[in-house]
Amino acid sequence: MEFHIRSGPLVCCLVGFQITLAGAAGPPGGTRYSSTVIRGEVTEGMVFEQAFGPDFVFRLQPTPNGWTVEVRVKGRDGDISRLTPPWHFVPNPRDVEGWHFRNADNTGPNDGSVNAPQEQRDFIFSPEVGSTIGGPGANRWPTTEEMERVAAFGRGTLSITDLVLADLEPGKTAGIVRMKFHVNLRWPASYKGGRKDGS
């Protein structure tokens, strides 16, 4: 991955395409998975959306210093990747912010002084999230069994291939001006869409 410092005006662009590989095999005798690769580029403040699978949407939602990874079901509110751990103490891999790639005093690249994910971000998703798991009436954290179901259903890995950072001065919080990426996604080949329970 290359890092760049912002210099001069940037042209806003949004690029995306996908390649689907149906029926990728999981563990021997286990679930068969469909998979896709989405490639794209975003600039500061832009939303990126790309449909995949029978009814999913991969989304990069802008934040003040970067983006948050979301997976949604078409026609439904809510992020079905929101149960990706960890939930506390360190940045979640779904949150991609410029300061993750800088040291604690923002004087150079992250030298380990900032405990944050780097250019590879793993996440999980399931259409059960927001309906049968952690739905609107939920009054408890998901159980271990529920989390295992989410992780067994869908997985994604966002890989950052090029990054332009800004505000690289002590006392400031580094942000991201431009990011190129690809994301690998997989879900059960048996899932045809439309079912809240993911079957």
Per-residue pLDDT tens for 105-135? 999 999 989 988 899 999 999 999 998 888 6
Beta strands in 29-153 (DSSP E): 32-43, 48-52, 56-63, 66-73, 95-97, 120-125
Of the given ranges (9-18, 74-83, 84-93, 185-194), which has the lowest mean pLDDT? 9-18
35 and 52 Cβ atoms separated by less than 8 Å? no
Residue 129: C-alpha distances to residues 15, 25, 81, 120 (Å)? 28, 24, 8, 23
Residue with the bigger pLDDT between 116 and 179: it is: 179
Mean pLDDT of 44-53: 97
118 and 91 Cβ atoms separated by less than 8 Å? no
Q: Which residue, chain included where needed, has tokens 């989304």?
A: 59
- Per-residue confidence (pLDDT) for residue 5, from 0 to 100: 44
- Per-residue confidence (pLDDT) for residue 132, from 0 to 100: 87
pTM summary value: 0.83
Q: What does the mean pLDDT of the chain come to? A: 84
Sequence spans of domains, the chain: 2-188
Residue with the bigger pLDDT between 197 and 181: it is: 181
